[in-house]
Amino acid sequence: MRPVTSPTLDRLVQILAPQVETNPLGETLRTGWAVLTRAWAQVTPVSDGERLRAAAVEQKTDARFVLRALRYMAQVDGTYGLRFDGADWQITGVKPLGRTYVEITAWRLKARGLRDGGQDAH
């Protein structure tokens, strides 16, 4: 197995956890977002060639975010969001890179974004 090289973690991101409530009908509804954590990341845009090979035809901005693998990162999945450089991103994939790092793939949302309540989760 090839060792993971140390990425340059030079961009600040926020991982956003969904806030949910159950309505009188028993349905779970997302009511907003809370900042799960702030972390330094390496950000790499997904190239046009990669998008073509993946048969992605939508006009959207994709990127990969590499962060340190912290204990609460195990719960992060596609229901979570990410905020970077003033924009909200929808997480589309999470995978470990060895024991030290995790790679999050996400696409940037349009202007309205995730609409968060701006509260910290911890």
Q: What values do phi and psi take at 107, rounded to 5?
A: -125, 145
pLDDT (tens digit per residue) in 7-37: 899 999 999 999 999 999 999 998 999 999 9
Confirm if 25 and 6 have CB atoms less than 8 A apart: no
Q: Which helix (H) or strand (E) holds 51?
A: helix 48-53
Q: How confident is the model at residue 115, as a pLDDT?
A: 58
The tokens describing 120, both together, are 């910290």
Q: Which residues pair with 82 in a beta bridge?
A: 15, 89
Rounded mean pLDDT of the chain? 82
Show the domain range for 59.
11-110
Q: How confident is the model at residue 119, as a pLDDT?
A: 46
Q: How confident is the model at residue 91 (pLDDT cuts 50, 70, 90)?
A: very high
Q: How confident is the model at residue 120 (pLDDT cuts 50, 70, 90)?
A: very low
What's the total number of domains in the chain? 1
In a domain, 37, yes or no: yes
Provide the 8-state DSSP code for 56. Answer: -
* pTM score: 0.75
The tokens describing 89, both together, are 């991103």
From 10-24, 43-57, 85-99, the region with the lowest mean pLDDT? 43-57
In a domain, 88, yes or no: yes
Confirm if 20 and 102 have CB atoms less than 8 A apart: no
In a domain, 81, yes or no: yes
Whose CA is closest to 104, among 71, 65, 77? 65
pLDDT (tens digit per residue) in 68-86: 998 888 889 999 999 999 9
* CATH number for the domain harbouring residue 30: 2.40.10.270
Q: How confident is the model at residue 23, as a pLDDT?
A: 93
Residue range 52-72: average pLDDT? 74
Q: Which amino acid is at 78?
A: G
In a domain, 60, yes or no: yes
